[in-house]
Amino acid sequence: MPTRVQKLFTKFLKWRYKNISNKTFTHILAVCVGLLAGLASVTLKNLTYFIQSSLESGIVFSSNQLYFILPIIGLALVFLYVKFVHKEKLEHAVSSILFALSKKKGIMDLKKIYTPLITAPLTVGFGGSVGLLGPAVKSGSAISSNLGRVLHLNSKTRSLLIACASAGAVASIFQSPIAAIIFAVEIFSIDFTMLSVMPLLLASVSGVLTSYFFLGNEVLFDFRLTDSFEVKDTLFYILLGVGTAFASIYFTKMYFGILKLFEPLKSPKYKLLVGGLAIGIMLYFIPPLYGEGFSFISNLLDGNHLSALGSTPFDDYMNNIWVVIALLFGITVFKAIAMTTTFAAGGAGGIFIPTMVMGSALGNVVAKVINNLGLGFAVSESNFTLIGMAGLIAGVLHAPLTAIFLIAEITGGYELFVPLMITAAISYLITKNAIKHNIYTRELAEQGALLTHDKDENVLTVMQLDDVIEQNFKTVSPTMFLGEMLHEAVSQSTRNLFPVIDENEALVGIVLLDDIREFMFETTLYRTTTVSTFMHSAPEYIFHGKDSMQQVMKKFQDSNAWNLPVIKDGKYYGFVSKSKLLTAYRRELINFTQ
């Protein structure tokens, strides 16, 4: 940055500190972040739809009969971009944001602003079976993170602005400001207080306004509720809740299962080839798996299942409703497979919208089965399509409130609040009991890097082991004589503990000042007794890079020790004292509760 610009910027910061309170400044930034996140979302959508419309109009093929080979072309373009430009492995959008919040103090790389705007449209525009919400949230969050760094904001404010960016992105894509706020609270574990809700509200409204400005009154689903909730259908909504719960469990297990299946393929080229071919085969038999799938949902809501399914190898049998049901159920089964295969093959995207597609298909299937069993029951297929989406969102993402308000807002289906709550609650409870962590959070939880609404867990998660390690201990060797130890270590140390290390720098024991106190003045022992005589094992060991702060705290509690040694790569690295650990814990706790 030029010197003159730096001076002007410094003057602005000084003026801001004097004239604008932190609270007001945060509100102003929330509006800016919402607008920028909304702009990123609109850009993402327009780029994707431009690619899709260009392909459909025949720029690549004069006929769309070969559409099923397009995904492998898109994946190849993403591969080339990642290899020669990005030069890093693509990360899951929301998981990478959560990791930045818990372990990087809300700091995100600058390239995460523009990389999703390139890789996601290439993946989805060419037919990859993933969504755009995750990349939109990631781009917006990276914008807010880097804006916070430039303005020298603290980590807590930076984290709040990242949540604001996610709200702005969701509000812009779905034009649902209330659901956007709840999404930020449920997914990013933001405390729902007046200090956080106002910035989230401002960012959410800004995101919606950005969408209106660029896209006009265009809505995601041109659908308005016509069938109201009937009490006699309650049992069927309960059944749908159970069905979406099992579908959510299947979705999650399939996601991790397919990713694991691709692990033996070490080369990205092989993953691209295998994954691209697999997606192409699935698209040939089930065309609605192509791309995000919003048109599929819209057609189902309009009651046009033939348009939703498109042209398939089974067109001659479409007069049979049970063939239609089987194909719709096939989408329920294969959407998760197609989505995860796209990720495994190197594609970029999100899981939110594929979850909605899968839920809409399952809800429609349940309604069609009920209506065609010949038992005299009749339910609204459009309502079940809507509520099926809510059930999958609640189960897969562990976000029941987001599911309820999102479906209600994007369709005007507020009259369905009761069945939405029934299905979403049942799906969430069953899935949460079966799978503790969702797709976003499972790996983070295993790494001890997951923020939750539990203050104690959050404090320990954001604490860094390196910040509490002390290395001002005088080390001794096991063969050192007592006299040498007193002269070279005890007399020059301010600590009452001495780590004993061998020639390989491995910790073999410790010696406390109390262990040698009664022998310190017996000069006859100075040249006859070695350190090995007095040393003993530590009550517990802390392993750097392996033990989380939760485990470190538990080791102190269980051992009742005041100091525990840290081992790094098999060598002595330092000590953690209980006093310093508790001081750091208290400091972070105050930061979280302010």
pLDDT, tens digit (0-9, with 9 covering 90-100), for 500-519: 999 888 999 999 888 888 88
Taking CA atoms, 209 is separated from 45, 95, 213, in Å, by 16, 27, 6
* Ranges 176-180, 190-194, 239-243, 374-378: which has the least confidence: 190-194
Q: What CATH class does 3-215 carry?
A: mainly alpha
Q: What integer pLDDT is reported at residue 243 of this predicted model?
A: 96
The proportion of the chain whose per-residue pLDDT surpasses 70, expressed as a percent, equals 92
Euclidean distance between CA atoms 591 and 510, whole angstroms: 36
Exposure string of 124-158, with b = 16+ CB inside 10 Å and e = fewer, is bbbbbbbbbbbbbbbbbbbbbbbbbeebebeeebb
Q: Is the pLDDT of residue 61 over 60?
A: no
Q: Is the pLDDT of residue 57 over 90?
A: no
> Which homologous superfamily does the CATH classification assign to the domain defined by 231-442?
Clc chloride channel (1.10.3080.10)
Q: What integer pLDDT is reported at residue 221 of this predicted model?
A: 60
The tokens describing 98, both together, are 């959560």
Q: What integer pLDDT is reported at residue 450 of this predicted model?
A: 61
Q: What integer pLDDT is reported at residue 98 of this predicted model?
A: 83
Q: Is the pLDDT of residue 566 over 90?
A: yes
Euclidean distance between CA atoms 286 and 573, whole angstroms: 57
Instruction: Mention every residue, 6+ apart, whose C-beta is less than 8 A from residue 330.
Output: 285, 286
Instruction: Summarize the confidence of residues 68-85 as an average pLDDT.
Output: 90
Q: What integer pLDDT is reported at residue 58 of this predicted model?
A: 61
The residue written with tokens 């004589």 in the block is: 481
Exposure string of 491-516, with b = 16+ CB inside 10 Å and e = fewer, is eeeebebbbbbeeeeebbbbbeeebb
Return the higher-pLDDT residue of 214 and 445.
214
Instruction: Summarize the confidence of residues 18-42 as an average pLDDT.
Output: 91
Query: Any idea what DSSP says for residue 519?
Result: G
Euclidean distance between CA atoms 145 and 251, whole angstroms: 31
Q: Is the pLDDT of residue 100 over 90?
A: no
User: Which residues of the chain are in CATH 3.10.580.10 domains?
Assistant: 457-593
The tokens describing 535, both together, are 């040393």
Q: What integer pLDDT is reported at residue 216 of this predicted model?
A: 63
Q: What integer pLDDT is reported at residue 451 of this predicted model?
A: 61
pLDDT in tens, 348-374: 999 999 999 999 999 999 999 999 988
Q: What integer pLDDT is reported at residue 171 of this predicted model?
A: 92
The tokens describing 523, both together, are 């000069």
Q: Is the pLDDT of residue 384 over 90?
A: yes
Q: Is the pLDDT of residue 218 over 60?
A: no
Q: What integer pLDDT is reported at residue 139 of this predicted model?
A: 94
Task: Indicate the fold that domain 457-593 takes in CATH.
Answer: CBS-domain (3.10.580)
* Ranges 97-101, 333-337, 424-428: which has the least confidence: 97-101
Q: Please tell me the pTM assigned to this model.
A: 0.80
User: Which residues of the chain are in CATH 1.10.3080.10 domains?
Assistant: 3-215, 231-442
pLDDT in tens, 254-292: 999 999 999 888 888 899 999 989 998 888 888 888 888
User: How sure is the predictor about 547, in pLDDT bands with cuts at 50, 70 and 90?
Assistant: confident
Cite the DSSP H helix spans in 126-263. 133-150, 155-174, 177-188, 194-215, 234-262
Q: What integer pLDDT is reported at residue 62 of this predicted model?
A: 46
User: How sure is the predictor about 65, in pLDDT bands with cuts at 50, 70 and 90?
Assistant: low
pLDDT in tens, 285-316: 888 888 888 889 888 988 888 888 877 777 77
- The phi, psi pair for 72, rounded to 5°, reads -70, -30
Mean pLDDT of the chain: 87
